[in-house]
Structure 1
Amino acid sequence: MSTRTETVVVTTSRPTRVIAATTRIALGFVYLWAFLDKLFGLGIATPREGAVLAGTSASAGYLSHTEGALSGFFRALAGNPAVDALFMLGLGAVGLALVTGVCLRLAAVGGTLVMGGIYLSSLPLDNNPIVDDHLVYILVGWLLAAIGAGSFAGLGAWWQSQPVVRDHRWLF
C-alpha cells in the first residue's frame, strides 16, 4: 500500500488565483441557483407552483419537451422519481462543492453527468454544431479540479489535509 500523499495545488500568481477562485464560485452558483430555484420555485426559471417542494417533478418540465436525436430516451426519463432525485442531488452537491472548494474531482464527475445529460438532450444544438454552454461548464469544472482551485479562497487546502482525504485522493 502506497503512503504517498498528493496535494493538488498549482502555484500561480495572485491574479490567477483570484480569477480561478471567482470562476469556481461563479460556476458553483450556477448549479446552486438551479437547485434552489427548482426546489423552492423562486420565480425566475421556476414558478412557485412548479417547485419540487410543491410536488412537481424536477425533470418532467424539461425532459418531456426535448426534441432531437435522443429525445425518445430523455422523454422516457421525464418525471421518474429516481431521475428527479439524482438531478437535484447533482445540482446541489456540485454547487456546494464548487462554492466551498472541496471534492472538486467528484464535483467534476457530477457536473459532467448533470451537464452532459442536458447537453446530450439538446442535440442537435441550435447555435453551434458541437459546443454549447453545458459543454463549457463541464470543461471549466475539470479545469478547476485539475488546478486545485479549491485552495484558492476556499476550503480545499484544509479539506486535502484531512487524513481520510489524503488516503483517498479521489476525494480531492
Structure 2
Amino acid sequence: MATTKHHEAVRANTTTRTHDLDVREGAHMEDVVRNPVARWALVVLRFVLGFTFLWPFLDKLFGLGYGTPAENAWIDGGSPTTGFLTKNPAVVEGPFGDFFANFAGGFWDYLFMGGLLGIGVAVLLGAGMKIAAWSGTLLMALMYLAEFPIGRDGEGFTNPIFDSHWIEALALIVLAYTFSGDKLGLGRWWSRIVGEDSFLR
C-alpha cells in the first residue's frame, strides 16, 4: 500500500512539473487561462484596446474631427505631436514641459504615428503582442509623464496618481502574456514562425 501511494505521489509530482514546464515553455492561451469566459473577455479586451490605439492614428492622419480637426490632418501638413506637446496646458505647465517640447514635430511625428499604427495592428491581429505590449507601455509612460502631475486644478482628474495610461499599459501586458492572440487572432500561427518563447511573439 505504501509503495502504491509512493508511486502515485511520484506520478502526480511528475505531472505537475511537466505541466508547469509546458506552460512555461511554449504555452498557449488555454494553458494559462482555463476559464472560457475569461478567455472570451480577454479577446474582447484585445479588440477594444487595439482599436483604442488604431483610432487616434486614423484621426490624426485624416483629421476626422474627433481629436484632430480636418485642417490639422497629418496628410494636409499637420503635426500629430506638436499640438499635444506644445499647446496642451497640462503638458506646457508641467515640470517636464520644456523637455517634451523637444519631441514635437519632424521625425517624432513619424515615430509616434508608427507606434500607434504598429501597436494597434499588432494587438488587433494578435501577433507580435509582446513587442506591442512593451512599446505601448513605454508610450503610455511617456504620455503620463508629459502630463505629470495629474490632478492639478481645472484638469478634471478624479485620481491624483493613476489615470487611463496605467490601465492601458497593464492591459497590454496582460493580453500579451496570456497569449490572447491565440483566440480569434494570428497568435498561434505567428508563434510557429518566430518561436513560441520568442520576444517577437
Determine if the TM-score, normalized by the shorter chain, exceeds 0.5.
Answer: yes
Q: Could you tell me which amino acid in structure 2 is paired with residue 104 of structure 1?
A: M
Equivalent residue for 2:168, pick from 110, 122, 137: 137
Moved over 6 A (4+): none
Structure 1 residue aligned with 2:137: 112
Coordinate RMSD, CA, aligned: 1.6
Larger Rg: 2
Q: Could you tell me which amino acid in structure 2 is paired with residue 92 of structure 1?
A: L
Unaligned runs of 5+ in 1: none
Rounded Cα–Cα distance in structure 2 between residues aligned with 1:168 and 1:19: 24
Q: Could you tell me which amino acid in structure 1 is paired with residue 141 of structure 2?
A: G
Equivalent residue for 2:177, pick from 108, 129, 146: 146
Structure 2 residue aligned with 1:51: 73
Unaligned runs of 5+ in 2: 1-23, 152-156
Q: Could you tell me which amino acid in structure 1 is paired with residue 190 of structure 2?
A: W
TM-score normalised by L of structure 2: 0.78
Rounded Cα–Cα distance in structure 2 between residues aligned with 1:144 and 1:167: 15
Q: 1:14 to 1:134 in 2, by over 3 A?
A: same
Q: Is the 8 A contact 1:17 1:149 kept in 2?
A: yes
Structure 2 residue aligned with 1:28: 50
Rounded Cα–Cα distance in structure 1 between residues aligned with 2:25 and 2:189: 14
The one of the two structures with greater contact order (alpha-carbon pairs below 8 A, sep at least 6) is 1
Structure 2 residue aligned with 1:72: 98
Equivalent residue for 2:116, pick from 70, 88, 91: 91
Structure 2 residue aligned with 1:6: 26
Q: How far did 1:167 drift?
A: 7.5
TM-score normalised by L of structure 1: 0.90
Cα displacement string for residues 89-139 of structure 1 (whole angstroms, at most 9, x for unaligned residues): 100000000111011100011101221111110100022222110111111
Q: Could you tell me which amino acid in structure 2 is paired with residue 140 of structure 1?
A: A
- Does 2:191 match 1:166? no
The percent identity for this pair of structures is 40
Q: How far did 1:168 drift?
A: 6.7
